Structure 1
């Protein structure tokens, strides 16, 4: 199995095709990246920027460069000694435009007789033999249907007409009533949908890759990539949505000839990747959370909790456990009620549970779930504990929960299989997409894959986690920014400084709230942290984020029922950051106040992520400052020509000033090159402990395994370090003569002053000087 030393993620789309990616390969090689990592490239909904709405899995998307583009990218990678990793989407397909998806079109045209009927997860009985499509503005809109060119049309939407169901002169409504599908008011999807989807997205229909025939057809093109040597590894999107993730991964390993495979799996605290998964690891959300927290000051927690309580008008900060129980229950009773009701219908009548009672108990169990899902028999204890928690929280459901538990524990029972697919959906929507916008004390903590109640991680705990990572998942990905992160790495690095200066932040926020008030204190905290994290940013970007964040939180406005007055105050606040000189000054003064500390955090987090155990990924463009907010902001185009020019300056001997954008490029390129060119320096893990007055401000580790390896030294909590008088007598012991890859300076062996080593940058990457050991 070929394994990457590192990867570089590219977002492939119509505006940046596989041919463009191929042209970028020489720069990526020079940067130090080992593999090119591509977003989904199979044919997707036309105009899709992300590619997760695959409409035809049989071919590379023509908009993204087609098979010729993949061949060109693969050829360029091979010529530069690089590998290729591709993101694939096994859980669902895009159905927003039925004519674009031949499988879906066939299903709608032929119903249960379609050759693709088994590919989709449809409860035909609930729909009376028809698949329900929530496409209408209201059910009265059936009178707006038209028959055009042998198809039913609803405005720009096109639907097939089954053979023999239309005679000239028939009314469109009558023709519709004879089809294998039923168009209905979009609002009815929450409780009445009868096909499985991705989370609550009705335009992404789940497919049954647990069926061997479906797997084979859905992965025929993927298999070709490996047979023809075009691709070296895969990233699997959302495996938790599958009926049998472990079985799927075994099939995938066979299909690819044992290639390198990663899974997008969110691990909750204390949770391990199932041992039966045929995978090298996760896509790195767990690593992101650890890196972030080691650069958050635990001393700021009490003050930020007090601020949160004052914004909420309560005696204490938000109770996160109670919050997520409530948000998950809200999702289970709301936008995902159709999934819960489908589970309830699978309870045998002989068990004596009415559908509504079963649904109530199922929703409560899911709301009590501490992880995304189980993989029975793995996770049986977690399921039992969730049932105990549900019964304790709702004693009136104790009998119903007890009745359901044996069914949910049986891996062969359809309700157990579907329950495992559903619990993760509720978790994702209730936690990541709702609670993360409500729990606002420090935005760094509410990142995808993170546990927000864990405020900070001490260096000793970080070292223990890294040692486990090295021992258990040495090939798992590490990352700091992705297409899914709610705030990219350098925005979070800025926001983390607030934990060091909580009182100053409280005063700044008070000024902003007075000058540009929004009637939702916790949301104001979220919004202004985001503005500080992303500044300078365009008005359009910040307005887009502000609206999305407010609607996702769902406290003061929602997607389905926007509060016009509240959203007007949000828009006015964002506008004030640009149009009111007083607000602009508050924002810019605070950004200037924390900028040096934020830059230190950014460089430190980047170097740690690139050199810690695992396979580091660099998200497109993040070798410069990456201060994006949630999608689509984090998928903006990248100017590679500018990065190439700056890299050439660095390689020509120009040493950038600390805290500047080229300094991040320096850290990124030098770390990537060492990882690629000297892999023997990254075979183990051991802490490098400092002594002296500021020892707690240094995070250090060696990647050697017996012999001297690469040593990472990184500043943590820089505001506190400066306030205490700097490094002073702080020192570390080096076991060999070592050169800093960033500055070229040579240090050691023996005790060396941290002030000397970190005199130019807040970080150092030390490598043994060959032939000179202590």
Structure 2
């Protein structure tokens, strides 16, 4: 076992797939070839949580996920299987949807600022007059009181000596000495350390920091040494007691000072392997001074995806988008940067207005037009955040762009810029925390659902304005990763991706066949349509990318996508008519449109499989630590969460792997078909080779492919292993295949690990090398 993983396999631990059930699959994970197992958050979360990011108790492993004994049993099983353990942790926030389950939050609600946990939460006590605002009411407070929707139970309880009050499912503690006011509800409510507010007030009137715009997740002040100690005591014990080997840090950009946090974490863990869930914009570098081994790999995902997109075809899809807009009476599409500006500005003005108002309140001096100027600066900020004093150039860029767009705010922007650049000021600290939230909500959760021409391009970490990358750019990025962050994670699918790797691989084929897709989309829209042309494209891409897909899954995706886009419907005020049309489209997918979809997917599935196998092999053998998301060793045609968190049949996969190994030993290779056995072959062989011979993966040298079809191949020497992958397979088929293409290589014999075939020294014809599969993994004779 190594101190740093060679590869990882992500498991989602829930009440339906507990640590004991995870322990039962460790042998399979090891047989697949993974080096470490990578677990979703384990600390006690809100009951019923299917993700674990809403931690309510830092002191214990979630009993619904197996509890401390379950973790011990899992760790033992993983050690026996020879696996290391990486665990996801959540330092930025806690779950407060069910206050009684979170003893810290419950105590703050009962005692207010006198609570020993009051300083743990990032609450602006001045705004609420010493009270925490809780946006849980379905109507105004006076209406709720008049309708007697709040009930009071003065019966003492261990955690509520003065009793509780209830509003539907919400139960809250009564402040000391206030139980006697039970017969005077307005007086009782006024005497509490919390203020019940209408749910829509959270956008503008909230007084505590949230995770993005989720009021059920309250930010904590982990920058305080005692809060860090109390929230990390159990986590550090896992490493000290050998129950875990490394940590994945969720959302470090929400922290007041991510660099200082990572320093404290490294000191506490003895410099254990640590990754950060940090999204880098194209061209942005991970802070070099952070004590981390790298990111969770979204930048690698975006780069790999773009190897399989045809740049000219993507332009044709942009033309199709323009026609769809014109047909349905929509304005012309905005350039990407303008779209992003406007969606970020909308988020700053609406969902995150509370955060902008807090920035105004902590300004050290009055600035005329501060709220408007701050929102504009947030909308123009080019990356997720800065890390002052580093990153001032991003603030300068944002200020220049904001003044260009809003010259009427130039004076306010000039006043604000030096304040936001001063790391000693609270407003500068909070601006850094807020800019990431505005970026995430404005881009990932809004603009990505409005930019619908090709779903492959709108994945976390990607820039849709960059449709494709040339091989030279891909190679340069891989060499840079090997040099600077050799232990950073790489990924293709996660619990947060908007489409699984195999859906994106299939959708990339549309860029090679834009005219055909336009024809098919026209046929599909003639069956049912939403009335919003670009969204029709997004919908039918989801259907084609994940086909076959049940109508309920497709509808769930469509409703979420449409509400996130916030054009024709939305989360706060859904449009029932539009969403009814979505339901009709989802029904039609498995009805009147089924034949159209089936025929088209039959045309492109083979090209999608080629893209998927090629991307997977490049990821698994490339620089960094490749992660395999649970179940994605077979074809995984999943859409955005919760679709991508469905249960995985590990027993079936274990049986399939056993059969594959037995047949491979007899020279029987799986075909590339809907079973996914070919992907299992590629995944297992690449992982096993990397685990058993890490010395073969220590360099990165691009190899030359000669011949007319050379642009359709990408080849790399990793230091004893040659990796070959196919690009743009539809275009390759159009020119008649590999023809005279040759892989130029040294005079060394080699064996293709994927097929067992042996090749002599020197160049190899790609038509021969890639006869069976669109990929090859050549191990040089030693």
Do they superpose with TM above 0.5? yes
Superimposed CA distance per residue, residues 602-654 of structure 1 (whole angstroms, 9 cap, x where no aligned partner): 11111011001000000000001011000000000000111111101111024
- Report how far residue 316 of structure 1 moved: 6.2
Name the SS of the counterpart of 1:127 in structure 2: coil
Residue 715 of structure 1 pairs with residue 726 of structure 2: yes
Partner of 2:347: 331
Residue 404 of structure 1 corresponds to which residue in structure 2? 416
User: Are the counterparts in 1 of residues 706 and 744 from structure 2 also a CA contact under 8 Å?
Assistant: no
Q: Structure 1 residues 162-171 or 369-378, which shifts more?
A: 162-171
List aligned pairs for 1:350-369, cutoff 5 A.
352-354=366-368, 357-369=369-381
In structure 2, how many angstroms separate the alpha carbons of the residues matched to 1:89 and 1:669?
31
Q: 2:579 aligns with which of 553, 561, 567?
A: 567
Contact 1:24-1:640 within 8 A present in 2 as well: yes
1:625 aligns with 2:635: yes
Alignment-derived partner of residue 691 in structure 1: 706
Tell me how far apart the structure 2 counterparts of residues 157 and 754 of structure 1 sit (CA, whole Å). 65
Q: Name the residue aligned to 1:437.
A: 449
Answer with 298-307 or 447-456: which moved more: 298-307
Q: How far did residue 768 of structure 1 move?
A: 1.5
In the alignment, the residues of structure 2 paired with residue 603 and residue 147 of structure 1 have an alpha-carbon distance, to the nearest angstrom, of 60
Structure 2 distance, partners of 1:298, 1:687, is: 22
Q: CA deviation at 1:168?
A: 6.1
Displacement of 1:537 in angstroms is 1.1
Secondary structure at the aligned position of 1:133 is classed as: strand
Task: Give the match for residue 144 of structure 2.
Answer: 141
Match of 1:247 among 251, 254, 260: 260
- Residue matched to 2:598: 588
Alpha-carbon contact 2:106-2:173 (below 8 Å) kept: yes
For residues 638-682 of structure 1, what are the alpha-carbon distances to aligned partners after superposition, in whole Å with 9 as ceiling and x for unaligned?
001111111011110241002441000000000000110000000
- Distance apart, 1:758 and its partner CA: 0.6
**For residues 91 and 742 of structure 2, what CA distance do their matches in structure 1 show?**
51
Contact (CA 8 Å) 1:466, 1:613: kept in 2 or not? Answer: yes
Residues 249-281 of structure 1: CA deviation (Å, up to 9, x unaligned): 011111111100000000001100011211000
- How far did residue 169 of structure 1 move? 4.8
- Rounded Cα–Cα distance in structure 2 between residues aligned with 1:519 and 1:321: 26
> For 1:349-748, what aligned pairs fall within 5 Å after superposition?
349=365, 352-354=366-368, 357-580=369-592, 583-653=593-663, 654-660=668-674, 661-704=676-719, 709-735=720-746, 736-748=748-760
**How far apart, in 1, do the equivalents of 2:683 and 2:594 lie?**
32
Structure 1's consecutive aligned runs of 4 or more residues displaced over 3 angstroms after TM superposition are 314-318
Matches within 5 A, 1:231-246: 231-246=244-259
Work out the CA distance in 2 between the residues paired with 1:301 and 1:597: 16
- Helix, strand or coil: the match of 1:124? coil
2-structure distance, mates of 1:573, 1:519: 11
Deviation at 1:109, TM superposition (A): 0.6
- CA displacement, residues 131-154 of structure 1 (integer Å, 9 cap, x when unaligned): 000000012213421112310111
Partners of 1:174 and 1:144 lie apart in 2 by 16
Q: CA deviation at 1:318?
A: 3.6
Give the deviation of 1:174 after TM superposition: 2.1
User: Which of 210, 226, 236 is residue 239 of structure 2 equivalent to?
Assistant: 226
The whole-number CA distance in structure 2 between the counterparts of 1:146 and 1:497 is 58
- Aligned-partner SS, 2:218: strand
d(CA) in 2 for partners of 1:104, 1:578? 47
Contact residue 382 and residue 397 of structure 2 kept, 8 A: no
Counterpart residue number, 2:173: 160
Tell me what 1:8 maps to: 9
| Matches of 2:311 and 2:418, distance apart in 1 | 43
Superposed CA RMSD in Å reads: 1.1
TM-score by length of 1: 0.97
SS at match of 2:152: strand
**Rounded Cα–Cα distance in structure 2 between residues aligned with 1:696 and 1:762:** 14
- C-alpha deviation, 1:460, in angstroms: 1.1
Please tell me whether the aligned partners of residues 134 and 189 of structure 1 are also in contact (alpha carbons under 8 angstroms): yes
Q: Give yes or no for the alignment of 1:753 onto 2:765.
A: yes
Report the 3-state secondary structure (helix = DSSP H, G, I; strand = E; otherwise coil) of the residue aligned with 1:167. Answer: helix
Count matched residues: 760
Q: Is the 8 A contact 2:709 2:739 kept in 1?
A: yes
Q: Structure 2: how far apart are the matches of 1:316 and 1:438?
A: 12
SS in 2 for 1:219: helix
Give yes or no for contact 1:509–1:525 (8 Å, CA) kept in 2: yes
Write out per-residue CA displacement over residues 349-389 of structure 1, whole angstroms, 9 at most, x where no aligned residue.
Answer: 4xx424xx111000000000110000001100111110111
Show the counterpart of 1:58.
Answer: 59
- Which residue among 205, 215, 218 is the counterpart of 1:202? 215
Instruction: List alignment gaps of at least 5 residues for structure 1.
Output: none
CA separation in 2, counterparts of 1:237 and 1:271? 19
Q: Measure the CA separation in 2 of the matches of 1:410 and 1:475.
A: 33
Match of 1:120 in 2: 121
Corresponding residue number in structure 2 for 1:20 = 21
Query: Do 2:181 and 2:187's aligned partners in 1 also have CA atoms closer than 8 Å?
Result: no
Deviations 1:72-91 (A, max 9, x none): 11111111211000000000
> What SS class does the counterpart of residue 433 from structure 1 fall into?
helix
**Contact 1:309–1:318 (Cα < 8 Å) also in 2:** no
Structure 2 CA distance for aligned equivalents of residues 71 and 547 of structure 1: 41
Shift of the alpha carbon at 1:574?
1.1
* 8 Å Cα contact 1:490/1:625 also seen in 2: yes
CA contact 2:550–2:590 (8 Å) conserved in 1: no
Secondary structure, counterpart of 1:722 in structure 2: helix
1:758 touches 1:764 (CA, 8 Å); kept in 2? yes
Task: Tell me the secondary structure at the aligned position of residue 531 of structure 2.
Answer: coil
1:740 shift after superposition: 0.7
